[in-house]
Amino acid sequence: MIISEVELRLFANEVCESLLLKTEASRTTIRADIVSSGIDVDLALGEAVHQGVPKIASDGSLDQRSLETIKWLEMKRETLIQPNFNTAPTPPQALIDIYGVKAQMLGPVFVANVLVGWISVHSLEERLWKDKDVAVLEAYTDSVRIVLATFLDHLHT
């Protein structure tokens, strides 16, 4: 059971590293809102990148909750799979222009019916995500949901 913020961050980074390798992505992040611990979705809880790929974990310049893609996650409550950005929902322009992302998958993490966070899988190339990529993301999304729920329960006990 995760009982500290340090352990939660270590877990998030381990998930990101594993997901990066299994999906052959360019970057993976986990974002979460845990106000009582000072954890905010505008700064990534965990991140992994391939060599030469810029990190975004400490870039808090975007109001993540206001993004079209995140509003889509809240409304649809399912994994967002984007082989390119030719159709809505569109990601923030900074993700494309500054960080070079051309395709992504987002896995929503709901706890007690609230979107507490999400996992992002980015590619610097347009790509058709394979079924196995989606399955791996969804398995990790479920694991992160369980850990975040446990962490939140621990905070309230």
pLDDT band at 4 (very low <50, low <70, confident <90, very high): confident
What's the rounded mean pLDDT across residues 35-58?
93
- Reply yes or no on whether the pLDDT at 156 is more than 70: no
Task: Give the position of tokens 């190339």.
Answer: 125
Give the residue from 36, 42, 62 showing the smallest Cα distance to 148: 36
d(CA 47, CA 29): 4
Query: Which residues partner with 103 through β-bridges?
Result: 123
* Structure-block tokens of residue 43: 């700064």
What's the rounded mean pLDDT across residues 128-139?
98
| Helix (H) and strand (E) counts in the chain | 4, 5
Q: Tens of pLDDT along 55-73?
A: 999 999 999 999 999 999 9
Cut 0.85: pTM above it? yes
**Least confident piece of the model among 1-5, 20-24, 34-38, 152-156:** 1-5
